[in-house]
Each structure stands twice: as C-alpha cells, then as structure tokens.
Amino acid sequence: MQLDFHGAADCVTGSRHLVTWGGQRVLLDCGLFQGFKVLRERNWASPGFDPREVDAVVLSHAHLDHSGWLPVLVKQGYRGPIYCSPATRDLAEVLLLDAAHLQEEDARRANRYGYSHHAKALPMFTRADAKKALACFKPLREGQAARIDGLSVTLTPVGHLLGACAVTLAHAGERLVYSGDLGRNSDLLMPAPQALTEADVLLVESTYGNRLHPAEDAAARLGQIVRDTIHRGGSVLLPAFAVGRAQALLLVLQRLKAAGEIPPHLPIYLDSPMAIEATDLYRRHRRLLRVPGREMARLCDGVRMVTTGAQSQRLAASRMPSVIISASGMATGGRVLHHLKAMAPDPRHHVVFAGFQVGGSRGALLVAGAREVKIHGEWVPVHAAVTHLEGFSGHADQRELLAWLGHFRRPPRQTFVVHGEPDASDALRQLIAKELGWPVRVPPQGGRFIV
Ligand code: ZN
C-alpha cells in the first residue's frame, strides 16, 4: 500500500490523502487549504497528482477543509464516484454552493476595483463547477459497503458534524482506517464517535492533539456573558460556523431560556442564509442526533431568521440588546463582518467565538487580544469584550483521541498522525508511542510512504 499525503500533513486544512492499493487510487477527502496566505496559495497549485488518474474519492464529512477542493478536482478531469454518507452529501451541497458563490463574488469585486494581481480575476470554482462535483456524489448508508474494484469502503459515524464518518478501506484481508475528524463524547448535537477495533494502517486527526478541553461549563459561561452584556445595554455577537455550531448555539440558548438563565423574550437572531438552510437539514436528519425530537422541533421557536442583506444591515444598525448568531465562524467573511464593524468599537458589546480559530484568521487575531482589526479595508478599534469559548468545540481533545485509539484490539502496523498544527500532531505522536507503544509518525506535506 502506498500513501501520499497531499494536505493536512503540516496543518489542519486541505485534507487530501491518496491511497494506492490493490491497483486502485483512492483519495480520502479533498479539502481546501485555509488560514495563512501561504497555505491558501496551495489551492491554486498542482495537487501533486493527476486528478484523472484517481479511481474514487471517499469524503469523511462536509467541512470545506475536507470537501472544498472537490469542484476543482472535477474541473481538472476527475470523473469517478465520490462516496460519503447521505447527510454529508446534503451538507456538502449547501457548503460547496455557498463557497462557489463567495468565490464568484470575490472575483467580481476584484475585477471591478482592479485589485487583482492577474489580468482578470477568476473564481477558483463556480456554482456550475460545484454542481458538476455534486453530481458525482454516491451516498452510502451506514453499514453499506461500496466496491472500488477489489477494495471495499465502509463508513462509521464519528460525531463531530452531521454525517461525519471514519472511513475503512479493506483489501485482501487488510484494513486501512481514516478517522476523518473525531467528535466528542459529550457533544451537544452529535452522539459520541463509534469505536473501530481493527486496523492495519491508521490515519488519525490531531486538531486537539496537545490540548484538553477546559472543564468549565460553556453553556453556563455563555449564560453569564449574555446576562452581563444585556445588563449594561449591549448585545452579544456569536460568530459561528453556519453548519453545526450555529445549531448547537441555538440549542444552548433555548435551554438557557427554558431554565430562566437568560430572559425568555431576549431577541435571538440567526443572520446567515446558510445557517438557516443547515438548520433545516439538521432537523431533517434529526435521527442522527442525540437531541430529543421534541427539542429539535422547538429549536427555532422565537428565533428571528434574517434572510435578506437589507434586514441584516438594519439589524447591524439597531441598538436593541440582543444575541446575534452570524457566519463566518472565524470572521473571515460573510455577514458577521458588518456586525463586527458596528459592535467592536463599543465596550458594551461582547463578541464570543465558540469554535476553533485557525492561525491567520481574523478570529484568531481577536481572541489573541488584537486591539484593532482590518475589515473591508478599514482599521476598526476593538473595545468590545472578546471571549473564546472552547467548550463548544466539535473535536475530540487529547484524552478523547487517545480513548478512541484505545478501542483498537491490536497495534496497527503503522499509524500516521494528520490534520494538526505541527506541535499538536507531534504531541499526539509522542503520546501514542509512549502510552500505546505503536509505530507512529507525522507525515510531511507531500510525503510518500510504502507500508
Ligand atoms: Zn471537520
């Protein structure tokens, strides 16, 4: 078996692991590089393999750092199937079409204002490209196996995000397991990751490979922040990933209201068309969640859905204390930016980041204590309080990663630690070697291994 690591090998984005086995080439995930510019530039470079020579793609979950390069792969000639769970297919449709729309908008803006370095700015991919990629999707039900010639593919739910799965490839009595992104045992929406017990070769993520989630009760802390902020006449801004995190925050806010922890009539706004669409998908696939059906049915009770841009602008100008959930989650784009621009200079407000902030993003700067940030080309002073609530993370922490690995009945012949910042990956590598005694390594970007 040959493994080529073309992404998420020295960072947490751009997951692309190419497996050549049994005469087949299978690409595990096909993600976008995000964050620092030097990483984002890789999206425009050659992927390091010929997309026309890939036989199949298996997608672990819909997050763009795992799925967002699929339209380019298809544009560059890939014509095979893209296997994933049914819920991943539905979420990927929302995420890829939105990403394409943003690319088209950026290119249009760059051409209009002439700030592109190229003669004519082109989107990395268009909505038409995204639709072509979506037409290649082949949803696999839980427990169902797909055949890629002599290889079989099965998916196992691992929490983290609606539809997220670990991937098992099997051939000639051997197994390769790829964890995808592992969720938490106590996630608000998703059940705990299911255990896998057999692997000859293992790829495991390491986003939180060097950290433990804080023991604090994130919901109680959010309740306290909301109470304090509205008491001084301010509003709470929750930049949130439209898919997954926005729904978890709605659930927490509804529970805080029901428990009398925050005022029952406090206005809550969901200002993201994608989050509104994703909320519908979470409700449609509610049997995959751990939340009781009656609670999911009431998830949006009293929540004001902000659909148009004009409504969103009016909300940004409003002085009424409220809670606003808006995307993007790392404040890298989207409607959250005009809320941030309006709220950051006022010390009455509170900005609460409830997710992982990748290095180089505006969110990472803010949680690190930046006193000003650049938004739409303008420097905006930051006087509002800024909090990073890591308790809402959708990733297993170091202890949970190790617990999941502990289910394997025998040591894999080789374990590769992927999808982490270098210090996180290396910390998990050391722990696996010390606690489990397994052969383990962190592959470099572009690294090739025969195992
Ligand atoms: Zn993910």
The tens-digit pLDDT sequence of the chain (451 residues) is 999 999 888 787 889 999 999 999 999 999 998 877 788 888 888 899 999 999 999 999 999 999 999 999 999 999 999 999 999 999 999 999 999 998 898 888 878 776 656 567 888 999 999 999 999 999 999 889 999 999 999 999 999 999 999 999 999 999 999 999 999 999 999 999 999 999 999 999 999 999 999 888 999 999 999 999 999 999 999 999 999 999 999 999 999 999 999 999 999 999 999 999 999 999 999 999 999 999 999 999 999 999 999 999 999 999 899 999 999 899 988 899 999 999 999 999 999 999 888 888 899 999 999 999 999 889 999 999 999 998 888 899 999 999 999 999 999 999 999 999 899 999 999 999 999 999 999 999 999 999 9
Domains of the chain: 2-211+394-450 (3.60.15.10), 218-392 (3.40.50.10890)
List all residues 6 or more positions away from 26 whose beta carbon is below 8 Å from its beta carbon. Answer: 18, 19, 20, 54, 55, 56, 57, 58, 148, 151, 153, 169
Q: How far is the CA of 372 from the centre of ligand 1 (A)?
A: 29
Q: How far is the CA of 144 from the centre of ligand 1 (A)?
A: 22
List all residues 6 or more positions away from 173 whose beta carbon is below 8 Å from its beta carbon. Answer: none
Q: How far is the CA of 207 from the centre of ligand 1 (A)?
A: 10
Report pLDDT for 10: 76
Q: How far is the CA of 3 from the centre of ligand 1 (A)?
A: 21
Q: How far is the CA of 266 from the centre of ligand 1 (A)?
A: 31
Count of CB atoms situated within 10 Å of the CB of 117: 6
- Which strand (E) or helix (H) includes residue 58? strand 56-58
Query: Do the beta carbons of residue 427 and residue 209 sit within 8 Å?
Result: yes
β-bridge partners, 238: 325
Q: How far is the CA of 438 from the centre of ligand 1 (A)?
A: 25
Report the SS3 class of residue 64.
Answer: helix
Q: How far is the CA of 273 from the centre of ligand 1 (A)?
A: 20
Q: How far is the CA of 270 from the centre of ligand 1 (A)?
A: 22
Q: How far is the CA of 206 from the centre of ligand 1 (A)?
A: 11
- Cβ-count burial of 304 within 10 angstroms (0-12 exposed, 13-18 middle, 19+ buried)? middle
- As residues whose CB is below 5 A from the ion ligand 1, the structure lists 63, 181
Q: How far is the CA of 264 from the centre of ligand 1 (A)?
A: 33
Give the end-to-end CA distance of the chain in Å, rounded to a whole number.
6
Report pLDDT for 448: 96
Q: Which residue has the tokens 């539809």?
A: 163
Q: How far is the CA of 385 from the centre of ligand 1 (A)?
A: 28
